Amino acid sequence: MPADRSTAALLDVDADVTRAHTLAKDFYLDPKLFELARERIFARSWQWIGDLADVAEPGSLAPRTLLPGHLDEPVLLARDGGGVLRCLPNVCTHRGNPLVQAPCRGATQIRCGYHSRRFDLDGRMRFTPAFEGARDFPSPADDLPRVPFASLGDLLAFASVAPAADFDEVFAPIVERLGWLPWAAFVPDAARSRDYEFDAHWALYVENYLESLHIPFVHAGLSATLDLADYRHESHPHATLQLAAARPGEAAFDDLPASSPEHGRRIAAYYWWVFPNLMLNFYPWGLSLNVVVPLAPARTRVLFRSFVRDATKLGVGAGGALDAVELEDEAVVVAVQRGLRSRFYVRGRYSPTREDGVHHFHRLIAASMASA
């Protein structure tokens, strides 16, 4: 990091979007800031850990990894005999050995394969051999602590190392807006799920997602399906909604209830972003969930996971050519990553009408990075 510029100065973003400058380019280039963001942004956020199909029955255990490739935190979903589901660390409190390697059913305990320490399914340590004479043992530190965990139905489960905000606070806007959706009707579709990797900083990808300014210039196909004159942005404390209206004749939701603020409008997509790296893209055919995974300051992986609720609407409208749109987005952010290395670029400005989502994102980054 340049010695004459503090982290606070690099991340200073004015609250007034009409006056504000973007984050300084150092945020995207400096390895120290990349590592700081791991702890101050990602370890304090809610991360998607899959659905709950493999822990539906009492006595089920299922290992997960919290943001694999970046946080790499091993956790364990455990449903006890009474049906209570918990998230626990998937490492033994004795020597840190991984506990459960694969999903299983009918479990009555969690047993470490290294020294046979055993835990109840609620995480309480029950047995450790050869500890006779150990003083102040056992203690609460020998139990598996609870990992913060919550879910949206059985479809979307989330966990966090140390969340900066309550789950309900973070996801309330989505639940309130789309509570009418038949969540149980969404079915995972592995054939439409894939991963992408490219040479750009994770935040550049998020920024590109959060602004509509580039759509007519980068996405000819997508632009042809959307009424960009009726494209709207909403900022929420921990999220942003981009509400995309459909052009006449293009695919749109046909089941918006009277209680929906969009009732009577032709909505092509609800593009929800949740700080820092989650996108929930709701289309008439279902949900495209994207998780942005930082791998290095100039390397990112994006997970695309598809959940279909109406297969007859696949392949049309705003959500009809996601692979093509993704490749177009990747090309742009990779080019920007190269451009940021220029000695002539330091930071830019925001379009107040099309980049307010990016401004909101940068303000959240700055606040998170400043909190020790």
Quickly state the pLDDT bin for 203 (edges 50, 70, 90).
very high
pLDDT confidence of residue 80? 97
Helix (H, G, I), strand (E, B) or coil at 341: coil
Look at residue 4 in the predicted model and tell me its pLDDT. 43
Beta bridge pairs of residue 287: 282, 307
What's the whole-model pTM score? Answer: 0.94
Q: Determine the average pLDDT of the residues in 196-201.
A: 98
Q: What are the DSSP calls for 110-176, one per residue? A: EE-TTT--EE-TTS-EEE-TT-TT-TT-S-GGGSPPPPPEEEETTTEEEE-SS-SS-HHHHHHHHHH
Report how far residue 297's alpha carbon sits from residue 28's, in angstroms, rounded to the nearest whole number. 6
Does the pLDDT of residue 2 top 70, yes or no? no
- Cα–Cα distance, 321 to 315 (Å, whole number): 6
**What's the pLDDT score for residue 5?**
58
CA dihedral 176, 180, 184, 188 (to 10 degrees): -80
Yes or no: domain 183-370 corresponds to CATH 3.90.380.10: yes
pLDDT of residue 3: 38
Residue 6 confidence (pLDDT) above 80: no
278-323 pLDDT per residue, tens: 999 999 999 999 999 999 999 999 999 999 999 999 999 999 999 9
pLDDT of 1 reads: 43
* Per-residue model confidence as pLDDT tens digits over 149-159: 999 989 999 99
Architecture of domain 47-159: 3-layer Sandwich (2.102)
Q: Which pLDDT score, from 0 to 100, does residue 10 have?
A: 82
pLDDT of amino acid 372: 75
Matching fold, domains 47-159 and 183-370: no
Quote the tokens at residue 250: 């293009």
Q: 130's torsion region: left (phi>0), alpha (psi -120 to 50) or beta?
A: left
Q: Sign of the CA dihedral 336, 358, 174, 201?
A: positive
The domain spans of the chain are 47-159, 183-370
The first and second tokens of residue 258, run together, are: 């009277």
Average pLDDT of the segment spanning 56-79: 98
Contact 63, 90 (CB under 8 A): yes
